[in-house]
């Protein structure tokens, strides 16, 4: 029975002589009562309670469109309305868990989420309800700043423009594999004219490994800006410095987590019992955010 007292029969599928599978499709979110009958008699503990949630009904409001570098180290907020989504677990992950998110309840199932960006990198907000992505997730919040660089065809005249850095290579890099990010010029106002693309001569990128050694970088021009690529060979935090016209970006150096998935070892799981928790040992030689999937 649905929250609105509508009755719906499930589809009974026989697996073998003693096993059956029941399939049913809820049409509304909320608490449902499931009455299981055998020979027209309710089985022990029936009816069962089943909470149905709908991630499509989670509404996100007032989420920032971008992060201004002048507002780094300041709180940013957005609102979440899950009042129509039913019962369930709401999970918010920002940049794979590297940026903390704090949630405060305003009213029943109406929340305000707060996070504090500290690095000049894109912030990707993922939101899941009962393990499923909410409508609109993920949200990509680029970071913008006012930077000066020479216009195409001129080495003397400088104009103030906004630049945008996007890419996984701004916050993590796999050992032995290319880490990539892009730099592009964007209009200084929402409806402003498109500026001239950045040139390779406008940009310098320096990467240092955990021991202070320099990491080779490649800078390549493309139609919409600059593509930067580098390969790390060590696990740990790498310092990344980006210069536009010999000027370090406002947020200063960034720190990229170098990791090596091949150095993660998990001991075999044995002696497990159905319905009982299973423990296993893992050895991690770097800091990672792990999601274990059953």
Asked which of 32-41, 139-148, 154-163, 237-246 is least confident by mean pLDDT, the reply is: 154-163
Asked which of 56-60, 96-100, 243-247 is least confident by mean pLDDT, the reply is: 96-100
Per-position b or e across 225-264, b if 16+ CB within 10 A of its CB: bbbbbbbbebbbebbbebebeeeebebebbebbbbbeeee
Query: Domains along the chain?
Result: 11-52 (no CATH), 55-141 (2.60.40.10), 168-261 (2.60.40.10)
Identify the pLDDT of residue 154. Answer: 36
Among 95, 89, 179, 99, residue whose Cα is nearest residue 139 = 95
Helix (H, G, I), strand (E, B) or coil at 218: strand
**End-to-end CA separation in angstroms for the chain:** 30
With cut-offs at 50, 70 and 90, classify the pLDDT of residue 159: very low
> Average pLDDT, stretch 128-153?
74
Q: Judge whether 239 and 173 are in contact, CB under 8 Å.
A: no
- Kindly tell me if the per-residue pLDDT of 29 is higher than 90: no
Asked which of 9-18, 149-158, 189-198, 219-228 is least confident by mean pLDDT, the reply is: 149-158
With cut-offs at 50, 70 and 90, classify the pLDDT of residue 180: very high
Q: Which two tokens stand for residue 249?
A: 């970006």
What is d(CA 25, CA 167) in angstroms, rounded to the nearest whole number? Answer: 40
Interval 59-80: pLDDT, tens? 999 998 889 888 888 899 999 9
What is d(CA 270, CA 78) in angstroms, rounded to the nearest whole number? Answer: 44
> Average pLDDT, stretch 249-266?
79
Q: Which two tokens stand for residue 71?
A: 């507002």
What is d(CA 9, CA 24) in angstroms, rounded to the nearest whole number? Answer: 7
Identify the pLDDT of residue 294. Answer: 42
What is d(CA 70, CA 158) in angstroms, rounded to the nearest whole number? Answer: 21
Q: What is the average pLDDT value for the chain, to the nearest integer?
A: 80
Helix (H, G, I), strand (E, B) or coil at 71: helix
Residues 247/252/253/255 CA torsion (nearest 10 deg) = -150
- Kindly tell me if the per-residue pLDDT of 126 is higher than 60: yes
- Kindly tell me if the per-residue pLDDT of 272 is higher than 60: yes
Q: Which two tokens stand for residue 242?
A: 């980006």
Q: Which two tokens stand for residue 232?
A: 């790390």
């Amino acid at each position: 029975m649905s929250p609105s007292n509508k009755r719906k029969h499930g589809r009974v599928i026989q697996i073998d002589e003693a096993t059956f599978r029941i399939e049913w499709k809820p049409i509304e979110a909320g608490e449902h009562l499931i009455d299981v009958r055998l020979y027209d008699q309710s089985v022990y503990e029936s009816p069962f309670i089943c909470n149905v949630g709908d991630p499509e009904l989670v509404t996100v409001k007032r989420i920032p469109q971008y992060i201004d570098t002048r507002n780094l180290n300041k709180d940013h907020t957005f609102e979440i309305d899950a009042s129509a989504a039913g019962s369930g677990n709401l999970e918010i992950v920002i940049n794979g868990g590297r940026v903390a998110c704090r949630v405060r309840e305003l009213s029943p199932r109406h929340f305000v989420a707060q996070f504090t960006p500290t690095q000049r990198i894109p912030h990707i907000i993922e939101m899941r309800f009962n393990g499923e992505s909410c409508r609109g997730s993920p949200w990509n919040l680029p970071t913008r700043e006012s930077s000066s660089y020479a216009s195409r065809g001129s080495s003397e005249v400088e104009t103030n423009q906004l630049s945008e850095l996007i890419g996984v290579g701004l916050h993590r890099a796999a050992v032995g594999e290319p880490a990539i990010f892009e730099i592009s010029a964007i209009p200084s106002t929402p409806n402003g004219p498109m500026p001239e693309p950045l040139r390779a001569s406008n940009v310098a990128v320096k990467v240092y490994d955990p021991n202070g050694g320099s990491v080779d970088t490649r800078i390549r021009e493309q139609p919409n800006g600059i593509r930067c690529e580098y390969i790390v060979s060590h696990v740990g935090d790498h310092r990344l410095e980006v210069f536009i016209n010999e000027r370090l970006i406002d947020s200063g150096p960034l720190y990229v987590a170098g990791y090596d998935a091949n150095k993660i070892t998990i001991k075999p799981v044995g002696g497990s019992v159905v319905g009982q928790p299973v423990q296993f040992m893992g050895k991690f030689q770097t800091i990672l955010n792990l999601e274990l999937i059953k």
